[in-house]
Structure 1
Amino acid sequence: MNRSFLTLLLTLCLSVHCLSAQAKKQVRLTVAFYNLENLFDTIDGDNNDEDFLPEGKNQWTQEKYKQKLHNMAYAISQIGSKNGPDIIGLCEMENRQVLQDLLAEPELRDLGYEIVHFDSPDKRGIDCALFYRSKYFQLLDARPHPVRLKGEEYIKTRDVLEVNGLLLGEPVSFLVSHWPSRVGGEQISLRRRMQAAQVMRSVTDSLLQANPAHKVILMGDFNDDPTSASVVQGLKAKVTPEDLAPQDLYNPMAKIHASGRGTLAYRDVWNLFDNLVVTANLIGGADTSLHLLQDKKSGDYAYIYSADFLTQKTGHFKGYPFRTFSSGRFQGGYSDHYPVYLYLTRTIEE
């Protein structure tokens, strides 16, 4: 075998190796959740929106509405990356139109988002929704699951939103929820959140029973912390990722909560009501399958986006999330909650 042939063979082998190496890349997607804090329009609707009308208690004018839209659009565009999250669950918006108005804002209009939304029976008229990029997520179907409070059917609360599809070709479902509030006291109202948790868990179990490889991300304003009974017993979410069984759920926000951080504050006490919970099959696994990206330094699987611009700079609530209203006065802020997010990663062939 002459030297020229050996050189040619080596060159071909190197070329094939380089092509093979170039044919794979690691993709990182951002999944987030954000409570928009009363994103209402200025139109008198069928719901109890009297406070958010120009003549209402909040004197909710078109100018204030436009500022709120701009603020929320900018905040969303910054979560996780400078192009916004690829999937984001949302709550506390009045209707589909305000979501369309939100996506029409300059910060979001070119980011390729599409909407999943259903009107809920909530007495205040606020709903849950999901924005997604069809570039990565192929929507298959979606449906709302009502949360009927036994013995208190007169209390109308938000549905659990189920969104099913293919994320980078893998079957993934997103469940978005806004559990009943703590009105009347944390313990008195706990059974309402327990029932919302059980609906969410039941939907998850059904998805896993149909396909154990199905991946589910549950998110929402649970109005409870990762260690609350509704989350640990009702949703049955584990607070550590070790020794997870295939049917288990893991709450990566629990580690953050244990450190004393939160997504909202009341009377100088921080709570972490905004939760991201995942099925066990999203922890670890092969690089060629979707899984949570773990921070190598902190060990965290999820994060609070507590940017400086989202934080109150002065006054009694200094250091709190910079909200739209405070003590009944318009502040021009963002939300009384910080958003939360995580990263999904997978190696794919280009």
Structure 2
Amino acid sequence: MKRSILLLFFCACFRICQAQSVLDGSEEGKRGDFRLMFYNVENLFDCFDDTLTLDNEFLPMGVRNWTWEKYKKKSQKVAKVILAAGGWEFPDLIGLCEIENRFVLDGIFKIGYLNNTGYEIIHRESPDRRGIDVALVYQPETFHPIDTSFLRLIYEGDSISTTREILYVKGKTHTEDTLHIFVNHWPSRWGGQLESENRRISAAKLLKEKVSEILADNSNALIVIMGDFNDYPDNKSLHNELNAMSPEKEICNNKLYNLAHPFLNKTGIGSHKYHGIWGMLDQFIVSGALLNKSGVLYCEPNNMSLFKPAFLLETDHTYFGQKPFRSFVGYKFNDGFSDHLPIVLDLWRK
């Protein structure tokens, strides 16, 4: 009751009831028994200097003129998106990427706009040169972590890691199902897609190694992989190396299926827009056991949704149509939300 009253209060404050819209997913206002969300929040930095990372552009005197007031506005916007994406209940699990540190997470979930929502945080500082990390935020009423590890990615020929880790969390849900959760933010396409492809293939190999270990122990394991992969479902890293297939194929419990794969055939639909073209860089990948209803919780091939309310979009004056209402255009502060749209996955109870 307390959670529902609190959420109603926030909904009134943010006026999200009228704004919520889910494309290519469940009906507006309807959600499953367990909701997962992933969101690339586009450079959620504090405005303090970290001498161990390349964060100088996100300082008051940096090229982005990143002030305390801008940081607070950005944090409020992230909170608004989380509340809106939850519907009438909070998302049970939230994967986040492009967050700088624990301080900015606490600024939302512990002392900020969502401080009374009960969320707990799993995070650690990664070796990423820019200082950006991944995190998992969860509702302890519906998810209880029992094992956590951070998979460190070291490129071939290197001796140390210079990029963010893959976060792995094993936990029990309120239905007594065991979920294996992975939160990813794979290396960017900076320098060109083909030129940078080997870095994402390295990430896929690291992830595949851990997934294979889980499936070798339990072929019916319930696995959910979420993230910004900086590749599309049919690219080599995801399709060939990770072997995440289309859910339209025959479903085997111990195989992986990319729920974003069907979005490839939908013109004008995506989580990110680059040079006028929408694409699905943000994806949910699940084990066949979830699709085959091997546990109490399960999902259907079409249970992944792209969260696309009007307030997350703005007019695309260059390429026409709409585009994500981002925080920055180049180095100019645009006072938006992110250059990515969130994705949502609903699990249902048998």
Task: Please tell me the TM-score bracket, short chain as reference.
Answer: 0.7 to 0.9
Alignment of 1:49-88 (within 5 A): 49-88=55-94
Moved more, 72-81 or 130-139: 72-81
For residue 154 of structure 1, report the CA deviation from its aligned partner.
Answer: 6.3
- Name the counterpart of 1:235: 242
For residue 209 of structure 1, report the CA deviation from its aligned partner.
Answer: 1.4
- Name the counterpart of 1:42: 47
Letter of the structure 2 residue corresponding to residue 43 of structure 1: F
- Name the counterpart of 1:148: 154
Distance 1:255 1:340 in 2: 14
| Correspondence for 2:261 among 230, 254, 276 | 254
SS in 1 for 2:324: coil
For residue 247 of structure 1, report the CA deviation from its aligned partner.
Answer: 1.8
Instruction: Report if the CA contact (8 A) 2:77-2:337 is conserved.
Output: yes
Instruction: Report if the CA contact (8 A) 1:73-1:105 is conserved.
Output: no
SS in 1 for 2:145: strand
Q: Deviations over 1:272-308 (max 9, x none)?
A: 100110000000326x71101x4xxxx7221110111
The answer to whether residue 186 in structure 2 is matched with residue 179 in structure 1 is yes
- Name the counterpart of 1:30: 35
For residue 111 of structure 1, report the CA deviation from its aligned partner.
Answer: 2.3
The answer to whether residue 106 in structure 2 is matched with residue 100 in structure 1 is yes
Distance 1:277 1:290 in 2: 15
- Name the counterpart of 1:342: 345
- Name the counterpart of 1:213: 220
Instruction: Report if the CA contact (8 A) 1:114-1:131 is conserved.
Output: yes
- Name the counterpart of 1:20: none
Distance 1:257 1:80 in 2: 25
Q: Deviations over 1:38-94 (max 9, x none)?
A: 000011112111000000010000000000000011011111413331101110011
- Name the counterpart of 1:302: 304
SS in 2 for 1:79: helix
Instruction: Report if the CA contact (8 A) 1:70-1:105 is conserved.
Output: no
- Name the counterpart of 2:22: none
Distance 2:272 2:111 in 1: 26
Q: Which runs of 5+ in 1 are unaligned?
A: 1-25
For residue 100 of structure 1, report the CA deviation from its aligned partner.
Answer: 0.6
- The 4+ residue runs of structure 1 with deviation greater than 6 A are none
Distance 2:159 2:317 in 1: 41
Relative to structure 1, the CA distance from residue 273 to residue 314 in structure 2 (aligned partners, 3 Å threshold; closer, same or farther) is closer
Distance 1:155 1:144 in 2: 12
- TM-score normalised by length of structure 1: 0.86
Distance 2:305 2:60 in 1: 37
The answer to whether residue 334 in structure 2 is matched with residue 331 in structure 1 is yes
Q: Percent identity?
A: 35
Instruction: Report if the CA contact (8 A) 1:195-1:234 is conserved.
Output: no
Q: Deviations over 1:180-224 (max 9, x none)?
A: 111111111111101101111111111111222321100111000
Letter of the structure 2 residue corresponding to residue 308 of structure 1: A
- TM-score normalised by length of structure 2: 0.86
For the aligned residue pairs, the C-alpha RMSD in angstroms reads 1.8
- Name the counterpart of 1:279: 287
- Name the counterpart of 2:205: 198
Relative to structure 1, the CA distance from residue 273 to residue 27 in structure 2 (aligned partners, 3 Å threshold; closer, same or farther) is closer
Instruction: Report if the CA contact (8 A) 1:224-1:231 is conserved.
Output: yes
Letter of the structure 2 residue corresponding to residue 278 of structure 1: V
Q: Which structure has the larger Rg over C-alpha atoms?
A: 1
